[in-house]
Structure formats: structure tokens, C-alpha cells
């Protein structure tokens, strides 16, 4: 059993807003989307992989490595996120700190993004390597990681009661992943870095988990009002939050590895 680590992080200058999230379970995904989304809401499609060990060792240490490919964009986004970081990343447009409510649980984190061409091997940027060294001293990335996924993600943005909302649907395969060997300088595996199962052989998923998350972004002083607006919206649309609230990342990694508890 792996511990789920979250530590409150001192407020950083890079942290500009608070985001509150609720997973929605009922009545069903089609009805949830139909009741929440305005007719003119535009969908943004992404494919997500998490780089992990089979036993989810990184997540148990509060480290998240995520690769996102967005429809219409030529480069992938490699994100290093650290929960309860002991240091904040240097100020840059690729770094940020966040305060997120998952249900009533507050989790603070900081992250650094790097853009990687689809033709390049995945590798941590210098800024990411330095942030990892400062935030998790003494922790080295494992010599072998798996690309867990692919997660089919679709997101929408809309406004309600004067607040910016987002809705995201993740379709997560039950299990999946291929070996990614670390190379000198922090590279992850082969030419395109991501594959499921044996190289060149996609791994069939046994079943899919659907996660639907509604989020509202507010200034810290308006967090209470934003959370109240989100609860009111769900009541108006007769939608029911999941009994168990938490990070959709944690739920996805659990589905993909069976290791997170």
C-alpha cells in the first residue's frame, strides 16, 4: 500500500489563483455534459500519458510526470509537478504554483512545463531538473519508467455567475504502459518516447474509466464564493458529485497501475 502524500506549501508569488474541483458521478456522462455545457462551448481534445513505475513510486513521493499532446499543436507538453514542494520553481512563463481544492481537501503544488517536439525524445529541461533537485533533494528518477495511457481527454471552458469554469472528461484505460528507459541528460526512452506494451504493439485496454471533473478558478479572496457558485450550478442542473472526491490524476494512476491507495 502506497501512502498518498500531500503537504501544504507556503504561498508563492507564482501562485495567482485558486482552483476548486469536483468529480461528478450522476446521472451519467452524456447527461452531465448536456446539462452543464453551453451550446457554443468549444471542445479541446488532448491525449495524456503519465510517466511512472509499475508500482506508482513517483506519485507516492508527490511527483507527477505528465505528457500532453493537444490536437492541432506540433509540440508535446512535458510537465513536472511536485505536490507539497519544498522549493518553488524559478519565475518563468513555464513555471507556476497552484492551490487546488479537491472536495474539501486543499493541495498545493508547483510545476514546470517544457515543450518537446514530437520528433524529439522526451527529456527534462534544465529548469525541470533544477526544480526536482531543489524540491525533492536526494530523489533521482528511476532508470525505467512506463508511459501509462493513453488517456483521451476532452475539455471545455465556459462562464457562470461571473466565474470561469472548466469541464473535463477523461477516458482512462484500465491498464496500459510501455517501458521508457532513461538516457543520459534525463531523456526518456526511444525516438517518440511513448508507447504501450511492447514497442510498436499497442496494448488493448480491458475497460475504460470515465472521470468528469468540474472546476472553477478564482482569486484567493473569492474562493468561498466560487465554490458556492459551483455547488449552486450542480443543484440547478440536478447533478450529483461523487461520494469520494480527490485528484483525477490519482484516480487515473490507480486505474492504470492498481498501485495507489
pLDDT band at 6; cut points 50, 70, 90? very low
In the chain, the DSSP E strands lie at 18-26, 44-52, 63-70, 75-83, 95-102, 105-117, 122-123, 144-160, 163-173, 179-183, 187-188, 208-218, 240-241
For residue 71, the model assigns a pLDDT of: 85
Q: How many Å is the Cα radius of gyration of the chain? A: 18
The sign of the CA dihedral 68, 105, 97, 229 is: positive
- Among 4-8, 94-98, 177-181, top mean pLDDT goes to 94-98
Which range, of 15-29, 150-164, 175-189, averages the lowest pLDDT? 175-189
For the chain, domains (ranges, CATH) are: 18-257 (2.40.320.10)
pLDDT tens-digit readout, 36-94: 999 999 999 999 999 999 999 999 999 999 999 998 888 999 999 999 877 788 777 78
Question: Coil, strand or helix: which one is 38?
Answer: coil
For residue 206, the model assigns a pLDDT of: 52
pTM metric for this prediction? 0.83
Separation of alpha carbons 105 and 154, rounded Å: 25
For residue 150, the model assigns a pLDDT of: 94
For residue 81, the model assigns a pLDDT of: 96
Task: Please state, as a whole number, how many other Cβ atoms lie within 10 Å of the Cβ of residue 176.
Answer: 23
For residue 86, the model assigns a pLDDT of: 72
Separation of alpha carbons 172 and 253, rounded Å: 9
Find, among 105, 107, 46, 106, the residue nearest to 76 by Cα: 46
pLDDT tens-digit readout, 171-229: 999 765 544 333 434 445 443 444 433 333 334 445 689 999 999 999 999 999 999 99
Separation of alpha carbons 168 and 254, rounded Å: 18
- For 52-74, letters b (16+ CB in 10 Å) and e give bbbebbbbbebbbbbbbbbeeee
Q: What is the torsion angle, in degrees rounded to the nearest 10, for the CA atoms of residue 217, residue 168, residue 11 and residue 220?
A: 20
Are the beta carbons of 114 and 77 closer than 8 angstroms? yes
For residue 176, the model assigns a pLDDT of: 58
For residue 79, the model assigns a pLDDT of: 97
The tally of CA atoms less than 13 A away on the side-chain side of residue 245 is 18
Amino acid at each position: 500500500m502506497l501512502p498518498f502524500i500531500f503537504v501544504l506549501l507556503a504561498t508563492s508569488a507564482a501562485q495567482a489563483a485558486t482552483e476548486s474541483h469536483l468529480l461528478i458521478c450522476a446521472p451519467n456522462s452524456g447527461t452531465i455534459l448536456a446539462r452543464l455545457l453551453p451550446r457554443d462551448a468549444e471542445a479541446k481534445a488532448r491525449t495524456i500519458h503519465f510517466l511512472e513505475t509499475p508500482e506508482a513510486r513517483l506519485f507516492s513521493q508527490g511527483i507527477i510526470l505528465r505528457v500532453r499532446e493537444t490536437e492541432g499543436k506540433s509540440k508535446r507538453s512535458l510537465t513536472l509537478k511536485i505536490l507539497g514542494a519544498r522549493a518553488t520553481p524559478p519565475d518563468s512563463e513555464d513555471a507556476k504554483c497552484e492551490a487546488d481544492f479537491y472536495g474539501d481537501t486543499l493541495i498545493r503544488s508547483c510545476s514546470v512545463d517544457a515543450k518537446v517536439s514530437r520528433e524529439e525524445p522526451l527529456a527534462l529541461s534544465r529548469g525541470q531538473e533544477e526544480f526536482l533537485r531543489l524540491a525533492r533533494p536526494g530523489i533521482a528518477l528511476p532508470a525505467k519508467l512506463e508511459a501509462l495511457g493513453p488517456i483521451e481527454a476532452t475539455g471545455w471552458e465556459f462562464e457562470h455567475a461571473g466565474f470561469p469554469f472548466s469541464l473535463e472528461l477523461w477516458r482512462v484505460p484500465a491498464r496500459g504502459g510501455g517501458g521508457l528507459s532513461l538516457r543520459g541528460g534525463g531523456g526518456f526512452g526511444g525516438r517518440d518516447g511513448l508507447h504501450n506494451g511492447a514497442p510498436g504493439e499497442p496494448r488493448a485496454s480491458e475497460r475504460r474509466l470515465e472521470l468528469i471533473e468540474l472546476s472553477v478558478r478564482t482569486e484567493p479572496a473569492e474562493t468561498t464564493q466560487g465554490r458556492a457558485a459551483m455547488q449552486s450550478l450542480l443543484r440547478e442542473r440536478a447533478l450529483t458529485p461523487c461520494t469520494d472526491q480527490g485528484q483525477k490524476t490519482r484516480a487515473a494512476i490507480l486505474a492504470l497501475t492498481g498501485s495507489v491507495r
